[in-house]
Structure 1
Amino acid sequence: MTNPIYIDLTTDYAFKRIFASEVNKDLLLHFINEVFRGKKKIVDLAYNKNEYVGDAEDLGTVILDLSCTADDGSKVILEVQTSQQLNFKQRMLYYGGKLIADQAPKGNRRGWNYGITAVYVIVLMEGFVFSTATESTAVFQDICLCNSDTGTIFYEDLHFIFIQLLNFTKGSDKLESDLDRWLYIIKNMPLMDSPPAYLQQPLFGKLFDVARYSKLNMEERAMYDISLKRKWDQEAVRQYQEQQLEEAITRGLQQGLEQGLEQGLEKGLEQGLEQGLQQGLEKGLQQGIAKGLEEGSEAKSYAVVKKMIDRNEWSDEMIAELVEVTVDYVREVREQRNK
């Protein structure tokens, strides 16, 4: 395999090499400010430790990809996640909470009076998106604490910004802002042979220069190659899980149809063919879907609903009844699918 021209910034090693280096602080500062999209501006920042030891021995150590403090005292965590993991949202919440808790002084807490500074958790999600219909299609998910009844912001100095790279689909001719250019580079840099004309700003020129594979020494190349292989392995696992889910759903639906037809024909002899077929199909589909979900450990109602919509054989009301979700949810999935 020929060596790449540029390293993949979504790998753990490349991400830290580019963004966690003092000489590249200007790159990190520019990227973070673009992610804030005008809501906040950082003039300078200082790198923090990335290991946070628990208050007790049994709590263990939290290791972050990158942590820094802005000139106004606010804390920023920047994480890259290349595969969906159990309790993913909860883990990001814990990371943010850890940076809040660590602001408490060891001594005079009364004088401190809980004067915590803002915390921002920025997560680059590569290779997967959130599973729910309302979250799965956006590029950005900007989360803060708010009143669930009115939507009024309760506390705006704890932010979780999730960037779903899979949903960033702009081509090179559609890039409108530096944020667009950053996301385009992060997604496509490994495929490039040289900096394109539309990315010739000095800052991006520096990024392309420091991201050259040829800049790595032998030890650094070995570390990068290991990091890249780990990403490929995670992607292979994800694709296998999706394939298993697809097969399980298809198998469950097929078995449900077959069983439903059989039951419907039997019942039709007693109650009328049309009514019997309908009841049998519904019962068979319910059993088939249950079996499909059982076999596909990663199956979600969203995936089942989308699959049934794709088959274009059932009404929204029937899908809702069979999968045990609301009709509004089915319509929401259909709307997201048609975008």
Structure 2
Amino acid sequence: MIKDRYINPLTDFGFKKLFGEAANKELLIHFLNQLLPEKHQVEDLEYLPSERLPSSFLDRKVIFDIYCTSSRGEQFVIELQRSKQNHFIDRSIFYSTFPIQEQSERGDWNFKLWPIYTICILDFKINQPNPHNRVIRYVQLKDQDKELFFKDLTYIYIELPNFTKTLDELEDLQDKWLYLFRYLAKLEDRPAALQERIFTRLFRAAEIASYSTEERQNYEVSLKKHRDIKNAIDTALEEGLEKGRAEGLEEGLKKGEERGLEKGELKAKKAMAKQMQAANLPLEQIAKITGCSLEQIKNWLKD
């Protein structure tokens, strides 16, 4: 039984319900415009099919969370990732190659590309130095003198754990969106600090009581998966690190600790995979969350 008043936007169902439906595209447009430069502000957008088929049977199929294009031609790949993944940055760059390839034209073509944005909303901190604990990081191609080399390929990483502002500390609309991503599901009423018209629409779209029976059931399934994944990861990491440290101490101080932690991390991933399988998660999703290959996951679960 769902006790919350508002949906959790960090679940698959919640994210796509609020931002992936044509009826709510105003919410997505407003959110994007808080991230984009003035020259790329979105006036209207069109959702594109999220499943990108491979060009040959040897290539890998991908499914984006949200894929859309603005009325002027800018393209957006928007990904929500709740659990930490070792090679997530590699994955985000791989994903950006699909809209690049899809811009090719038959016949004579001068290779001019429309701007592409890969936007990643992360409920964890990525494995990259972040001395200023930035919540939002903009990444573009630069040369050895740190001069912008190519302006139309941009990666935006939003690390939600770094956002710690309270309601009283929110300074602008960007802050308010980040606050809602983190705390919407915990709110019982709409705060006075969030009275803008766009948030009237958001709170209306997020109210679980207004959903059909089928939508509430789908949300419950998504919420359960969200909690099961989090619990599985927390438990597996805790157990894995404990075993790793124990083995590391047996093998020696510095060298042993490094090897032990390595083994512990592997055991953590195995335990995580088994717990997620028990929660009936598809093997493809388990591989995506752990950052391991599908073949490796199958071998572990077979054992």
Greater Cα offset, 29-38 or 286-295: 286-295
Map 1:222-261 onto structure 2 (within 5 A): 222-248=217-243, 250-251=245-246
Q: Is 2:122 aligned against 1:125?
A: yes
The residue number in structure 1 matching 2:261 is 293
**Aligned positions, number:** 267
Q: Is 2:182 aligned against 1:187?
A: yes
Letter aligned with residue 148 of structure 2: I
Letter aligned with residue 146 of structure 1: K
Q: Is 2:161 aligned against 1:166?
A: yes
* 1:134 counterpart (127, 130, 136): 130
- Asked whether the 8 Å contact 2:96–2:118 carries over to 1, the reply is yes
- Rounded Cα–Cα distance in structure 2 between residues aligned with 1:179 and 1:57: 42
3-state secondary structure, aligned to 1:189? helix
* 1:206 counterpart (198, 201, 204): 201
Map 1:1-339 onto structure 2 (within 5 A): 1-36=1-36, 38=38, 40-105=40-105, 107-108=106-107, 111-126=108-123, 128-134=124-130, 137-147=133-143, 149-248=144-243, 250-251=245-246, 284-297=252-265
Deviation at 1:136, TM superposition (A): 9.0
Which structure's residues are more often helix, by fraction?
Answer: 1
Letter aligned with residue 139 of structure 2: I
- Rounded Cα–Cα distance in structure 1 between residues aligned with 2:63 and 2:52: 6
Give the superposed CA RMSD. Answer: 2.2
Structure 2 vs 1, CA of residues 135 and 237 (structure 1 numbering), >3 Å: closer, same or farther? Answer: farther
Structure 2 vs 1, CA of residues 181 and 39 (structure 1 numbering), >3 Å: closer, same or farther? Answer: farther
TM-score norm. by structure 2 comes to 0.81
Structure 2 vs 1, CA of residues 226 and 43 (structure 1 numbering), >3 Å: closer, same or farther? Answer: same
- Rounded Cα–Cα distance in structure 1 between residues aligned with 2:239 and 2:82: 20
Letter aligned with residue 44 of structure 1: D
- Asked whether the 8 Å contact 1:135–1:141 carries over to 2, the reply is no
- Rounded Cα–Cα distance in structure 1 between residues aligned with 2:120 and 2:134: 14
- Rounded Cα–Cα distance in structure 2 between residues aligned with 1:2 and 1:63: 28
3-state secondary structure, aligned to 1:160? strand
- Rounded Cα–Cα distance in structure 1 between residues aligned with 2:131 and 2:235: 23
Partner deviation per Cα, 1:278-314 (whole Å, 9 max, x = no partner): xxxxxx4224323432332269xxxxxxxxxxxxxxx
Q: Which runs of 5+ in 1 are unaligned?
A: 257-283, 300-339
Structure 2 vs 1, CA of residues 253 and 171 (structure 1 numbering), >3 Å: closer, same or farther? Answer: farther
The structure with the largest alpha-carbon Rg is 1
Partner deviation per Cα, 1:190-244 (whole Å, 9 max, x = no partner): 1111111111111101100111111211111111111111111221122124313
3-state secondary structure, aligned to 1:56? coil
Q: Which runs of 5+ in 2 are unaligned?
A: 268-303
TM-score norm. by structure 1 comes to 0.73
- Asked whether the 8 Å contact 2:248–2:261 carries over to 1, the reply is no
Deviation at 1:19, TM superposition (A): 0.9
Deviation at 1:252, TM superposition (A): 5.9
- Rounded Cα–Cα distance in structure 1 between residues aligned with 2:135 and 2:58: 37
- Identity between Structure 1 and Structure 2 (%): 31
- Rounded Cα–Cα distance in structure 2 between residues aligned with 1:39 and 1:292: 51
- Asked whether the 8 Å contact 1:67–1:77 carries over to 2, the reply is yes
Deviation at 1:85, TM superposition (A): 2.8
Letter aligned with residue 198 of structure 1: A
- Tell me: higher relative CO, structure 1 or 2? Use CA pairs within 8 A at least 6 residues apart: 2
